[in-house]
Structure 1
Amino acid sequence: MLMKTSELSGGGQQDPRDAAVANEAAASSSSSLSEDEAGALYRLLTWLSPSFPVGAFSYSSGIEWAVEAGDVTDALSLRRWLTSMLTDGAGLCDSIFLAHAHRVASSGDDARLAEIAELAFAFATSRERHLETTAQGRAFIEIARAAWNMAPLDRLVAACEVSIVYPVAVGLVSVAHHVPLAPTIHAFLHAVASNWISAGGRLIPLGQTDSQRVLAEFEPIVAATAKRALEASLDDLGSATFRADIASMRHETQYTRLFRS
């Protein structure tokens, strides 16, 4: 005769191992993603993957000149340079623009959205930086629209009235697909940092392990920058990365170049 598990364990009490398995299964079930959440995560990971064809691999944000000038020579100097760019330069400013574009687009205030898009368009510090952010913004919207078109995106794009820069484009597409702001900013900053590190790794050059170590060290920096961006107003916009701005300008006339910026 077959016996129940409770009888085998004696006294009618449940085996602690079975209880642990049941608790783990219940916790897993309660924390699983809904269909909409899973879809939003899938799209966010796709849009900010290095394989998403916005041409990010062809831009170095001035790092190419910094390497030639001797400012960046190894993993340590690359980490210091990029930390400044992320926390006090383009990384922070772009994520602030993303946050405000996302919030305003979600509210339906088209006039305010146009103002933010215009300010972000005017905020580039050099001709190449302007080319970089507008070209990537245009490509991001065109490819996202072609693959996952959503009717609200057309209205949001039309409301901007200027060429849309990359962080604003990410904000608009995320709103159109109901992707929350916080994970969008974290994913955006991870993508930006990864691209910068990839450029530095090819230019110095660095090995893959050293490049991944730099990216690992950026984890708390990205998290802190995302938190600042989520809490910042447009009055908090500003940059103190003068050497990086000069690098971007000098790159325009650099004799030999691998990158477009």
Structure 2
Amino acid sequence: MAMDSQVLSLLQLVSPALPVGAYSYSEGLETLVEWGTISSNRTLKHWLEQELSYGAIRTEAAVMLRAYQATVSKDKTALSYWNTWLSAARETSELRASSWQMGQSLMHLLLAIKPTEAQSFCVQGECNYAVCLGVFAALEQIDSKSLILGYLHSWANNLITAGVKLIPLGQTAGQILLHELHANISAAATEIISLEDDKLSSCSWGLSLASMAHETQYTRLFRS
């Protein structure tokens, strides 16, 4: 029964129906489609594979794991530190704003579902989404490896959904692409778990440039 509860909690946390507004962000994908950098399922797959191998999503997941561990050990100082660290690591105001907005929305949900436990782990100021998700998962006693897999899968699913709308792709093509990324997601999760603090880095200048350019696009469907 306990394992059933943990699996169900994980499914809820990584569900596209989670009311945090993830669907409204493309993380620069909208700019890349306009530039022609991404124009097919092949080029979208290449972009997502590179992000899973070298991009900022790896850093986010690693910090989420540290927030999870800080919650388990009741280390509020470490929790605050990693939240501040992740905010400082954001390379554009849009990426930072999206993380804070989603984090705030998730914290409201956490306080509604687990008001007593959550009060002890509320981060002062703006809370990043990955940090709040780590707290939530720890309080729900979700397995940490499963959490990382779910987080990466949810991230890929969200961007593929954006690609389906922007490129556009068919729904079936999008689902085939998501399935093809399973091995990449699994490999990335295994690597993220073993990352030491001084190895937290990413090579995401392409994402940064796309994110910065999004502000001046003539038409936009997404907020980033």
Band the TM-score falls in, shorter-chain normalisation: over 0.9
- Please tell me whether Structure 1 or Structure 2 has the larger radius of gyration of its CA atoms: 1
Which stretches in structure 2 are left out of the alignment for 5+ residues? none
Shift of 1:150: 4.6
Which structure carries more relative contact order (alpha carbon 8 Å, separation 6+)? 2
- CA deviations 1:198-252 (Å, max 9, x no partner) are 1111100000111111101110110011111111122122121211110011102
User: Quick check: 1:189 aligned with 2:152?
Assistant: yes
2:178 to 202, 215, 218: 215
Structure 1 distance, partners of 2:105, 2:200, is 25
- Give the TM-score normalised by the residue count of structure 2: 0.96
Question: Secondary structure at 1:163's aligned position in 2?
Answer: coil
What TM-score, normalized by structure 1, do the two folds share? 0.83
Indicate the RMSD between aligned Cα atoms, in angstroms: 1.2
Aligned residues: 224
Amino acid in the other structure paired with 2:13: W
Query: Which ranges of 4 or more aligned residues in structure 1 deviate by more than 4 Å?
Result: none
Q: Structure 1: where are the runs of 5+ without partners?
A: 1-34
Name the aligned partner's letter for residue 81 of structure 2: E
Counterpart selection for 1:103 from 69, 72, 83: 69
Match of 1:31 in 2: none
Cα deviation for residue 50 of structure 1 reads 0.5
Percent identity between the aligned chains? 31
* 1:94-173 equivalent positions in 2, closer than 5 A: 94-146=60-112, 148-157=113-122, 160-173=123-136
Opposite residue 8 of structure 2, the aligned amino acid is: Y
8 Å CA contact retained: 1:117, 1:162: no
| 2:40 is the alignment partner of 1:74 | yes
| Residue of structure 2 in register with 1:179 after alignment | 142
Residues 136-166 of structure 1: CA deviation (Å, up to 9, x unaligned): 11111212332x2152221111xx3231111
Distance in 2 (alpha carbons) for counterparts of 1:41 and 1:198: 24
Q: Counterparts of 1:85 and 1:252 in 2: how far apart (Å)? A: 22
